[in-house]
Amino acid sequence: MKYLLLFIIALSVNAKAQTLQKVNLSGSVENTKSEKVYLQKYENKTYITIDSSEVKDGRFSFSKSIVLPEIYGLSFTSNIDNPFTSYLVFLDNGNINVKLDSIDDFKNTIVDGSKEQLLYENLLKDSVNIKDVIKKHPNSIAALYVFYRYYSYKMSPSDIRSTIALLDKNLQNSAYAKAMYDLANTISEVGTGKQAPDFVAYTSANEEVHPLTLAKGGYLLIDFWASWCPPCRKENPNLVKTYEEFKDKGFNIVSVSLDSSLESWKKAINKDNLEWTQLIDRKAWNGDGIKKYGIRLIPSNFLIDSNGKILAKNLKGDNLRNVLLHFIH
């Protein structure tokens, strides 16, 4: 409870316009034998457990003062090994009821009583013009989150900044807006033709490695991924195929995982037959490489030449092979 209080105090300092408010959050659980439901704070694509509720007669409840409105998660597990074990929920003031269903990554979960949740779910139904959404809902944390999570990584630095400027002042000072300001600045520094920034990742024995040193004398693909990321696992066979074709022609790969679990990471490496250098940064979305390369979505990769210059990025499927054929004769 002491850590929960310290956490809430820190949040209230960082979110000037947000205040501690009473939330009544309750619900039922479906398709699980779990004896607890965990309340988690969503922070930079990571869920941090701040409280738990025992499941009694198939129901759970939280009644407490927390920062509102904000983004939280509900989960049947307290660990952070896999973000898909948590269900994203937007809490605003009022009585909120959740039918928390564990099947298919919470596919059938229903939230009632949260206007922000309803807006979020509506915004996900179709592709939208995010600037128009922000203009219409400048004080909505759900609209801000959709911008932050699903659109910012596809936008130019100037578009990111101009869209942030449409938000109410309190949301312009939020952690989400700050992350996007940082992203806009970073994108400008890691474009094609730019010098790749040095960064640090780690071996399974926690030994520090500078991945760019592996680019000397040839071409290096820096690949950011995680064992819990389905698109990453789907892309791995393409990387294996390309690596086998070009590994004796001056091409190398270094993969940097965002896994928090060494066991899950190692199991995925073995299962996917990843024979090149494997590193990990258990800080995940707060990792050194993630920040310096402006990664907001995985898998992401950068092709680097022997001088450390970025030749291309986000090469998927046959695109990587085609680009390598251009450079390697």
* pLDDT beneath 70: ranges in the chain: 1-18
SS3 180: helix
pLDDT at 144: 97
In the chain, % of residues over pLDDT 70: 94
Report d(CA 54, CA 60) in Å as an integer. Answer: 6
Report d(CA 147, CA 154) in Å as an integer. Answer: 10
pLDDT per position as a tens digit, 143-160: 999 999 999 989 999 999
pLDDT at 86: 94
> 37 near 58, Cβ under 8 Å?
no
User: What one-letter code names the amino acid at 67?
Assistant: V
**What does the block give as tokens for 203?**
């071996």
Residue that is written with structure tokens 């105090």 in the block: 9
Report d(CA 123, CA 218) in Å as an integer. Answer: 45
Strand order in the sheet with 70-75: 46-54, 36-43, 70-75, 86-91
**What domains lie within the chain, and their CATH numbers?**
1-111 (2.60.40.10), 126-188 (no CATH), 201-327 (3.40.30.10)
**What does the block give as tokens for 111?**
């939230």
Phi, psi for residue 155 in degrees, rounded to 5: -100, 155
Q: Which residues contact 20 (CB under 8 A, 6 or more apart)?
A: 8, 12, 65, 66, 67, 68
pLDDT at 1: 43
Report d(CA 327, CA 107) in Å as an integer. Answer: 44
pLDDT per position as a tens digit, 194-248: 999 999 999 999 999 999 998 888 999 999 999 999 999 999 999 999 999 999 9
pLDDT at 75: 96
**In sequence order, what are the beta bridge partners of 279?**
256
Distance of CA 206 to the CA centre of its chain: 23
> 285 near 259, Cβ under 8 Å?
no
pLDDT at 9: 38
Instruction: Say how many residues make up the chain.
Output: 329
